[in-house]
Structure 1
């Protein structure tokens, strides 16, 4: 179920609560419950958000726990839970560290998820960055870039329409092994996360979409141009969905300190600022709202959808 590459900017969000890094988690999330997560997902579904996204870490070492926290919900379990309580919003892994697992195991999980949710999956993938996770699972950290490239190719085969998918690579090979159910989509979109030169190349050559990781606005046009050059040079003609993670947002004038990087103000002014992403060639923006409670977050989401989104025409 691909997102459009024409028309107004699409907007989605990475869910709070399911990952609680000190870099972005709000204070109220630590005591939040599955009911809070469910209400946020339902709000996004009602308000026209294009997708909801979840992260992927298996275990965080003590040396990183201060910055990253250890709260990281499993993406397949979380997205499956959300699939049962939503109707139209797309469900995305942002990003699945697929090099930690054999591609057939990954394909079994995500094919089942896509089958159950009626074809609403976007499989976002990335290389990962925590050596201890790879080591404890017996995965190759030093070679994770090459592993990810081959895993993407293997997943495209394993998530296709064939009951008995076939793939032969340097690390992974399979044939004669049936997997049902198949995904509801004929072809599950694979979006590549990351902003390093290797990640941009991977997105250009293998991705149906690109998920940059925190590129500032002034760097994005050059990155997008490079991705398009690589894609053209390789003869890849299919459209690619280009994304961006926006600055934190607050619709209206906050009465509390939301941080100097946060975009605030009238809906029309916020929309004008966000339309600059479209001018760069971005198709979808991932938004995040400052909030002090679940209710403030869902109010912000509803206000954005009702008051800002109508002005996001390119």
Structure 2
């Protein structure tokens, strides 16, 4: 469980592969596979704990101007990057697993874990785009209950049994063999979301929590609730508490990086980020402001060399 003094690791949600206007930089619109490879390799060398990719099957016209329609498939993207990296874990942040049958999800992610040598972290979430669910014939209004059962079904389907078995309200399967099995004995499942239902789901069903949009002042209360729910349920297994930091820029920027961005000397950034550790956070997800791939690579290197050692 989390405590006041925990080791703070750091991971990165990759640019390019998802381009919501909430966070994408202008240069990403013309970027592609070569950029992803160089950024993933740089983060891998720099000691980042994971590389993350998002999941949307399709974005409706009503949301396209804000979300964009650029959302790479997470399994294809992470499998591609597994072949050019060696150490960093591969995180789906988050897979909307209710859009797909658990056996289909398990086949894809078990193969990814096998091919990457056991580097998968399966991040899951309920989803929020009704049209995606309707187009794929899945129930948007029951997505929370479906996600709860999907996690249970995926525990079975990503376990050690060649012929996994699950019998539930929404999914029922047995007698269907799936190989290759995951390399890991237990694939970590991190649950995304900050609603009361998502926090409860993470506490009781997950191996970790991926908050969504919580400012740092809200995190202590959320973490206290997580730990209380786990204690009340008698859950004692290890648990990873995550946080998404403010945008970062290492050094003094010579351009407008936005008022929410943390920038300045490495020691000052490290001091600010250590506040997450004091809350009981185990891993932070960072995103750097940049005007191009070269600047982003420089930021990754500077963070690893000058900020990370003081976390």
> TM-score band (shorter)?
over 0.9
Matched residue SS, 1:13: strand
Q: CA deviation at 1:224?
A: 0.3
Partner residue of 2:87?
A: 88
Cα RMSD, aligned residues only: 0.9
Q: How far has the Cα of 1:46 moved from its partner?
A: 0.5
* Cα distance in structure 1, aligned partners of 2:5 and 2:85: 25
Structural mapping, 1:8-87, within 5 Å: 8-87=7-86
Q: Distance in 2 between matches of 1:138 and 1:162?
A: 29
Q: What's the offset of the Cα at 1:214?
A: 1.5
Does the C-alpha gap of structure 1 residues 6 and 169 become closer, same or farther in structure 2, counting only changes over 3 Å? Answer: farther
Instruction: Decide whether the 8 Å contact of 1:23 with 1:67 is kept in 2.
Output: yes
Match of 2:253 in 1: 254
1:120 and 2:119 matched: yes
Runs ≥4 in structure 1, deviation > 2 angstroms?
5-8
Inter-partner Cα distance in structure 1 for 2:165 and 2:77: 29
Structure 1 residue 277 and structure 2 residue 276: aligned?
A: yes
Deviations 1:59-87 (A, max 9, x none): 00000000000000000000000000000
Structure 1 residue 8: Cα displacement = 3.0
SS of structure 1 residue aligned to 2:28: helix
Matches within 5 A, 1:107-256: 107-256=106-255
Equivalent pair of 1:6/1:283 in contact (CA under 8 Å)? no
Query: How far 1:6 moved relative to its partner?
Result: 7.0
Gaps of 5+ in 1: none
Unaligned runs of 5+ in 2: none
2:252 is paired with a residue of what secondary structure?
coil
- Residue 217 of structure 1: how far off its partner (Å): 1.0
Taking structure 1 as the reference length, what is the TM-score of the superposition? Answer: 0.97
C-alpha displacement of 1:179:
0.3
Contact persistence 2:6–2:277 (CA under 8 A): no
Q: Per the alignment, do residues 6 and 124 of structure 1 end up closer, same or farther by CA in structure 2, a change over 3 Å counting?
A: farther
Does the 8 Å contact 1:220/1:280 carry over to 2? yes
TM-score normalised over the length of structure 2: 0.98
Give the conservation status (yes or no) of the 8 Å contact 2:5–2:278: no
> Displacement of 1:239 after TM fit?
1.5
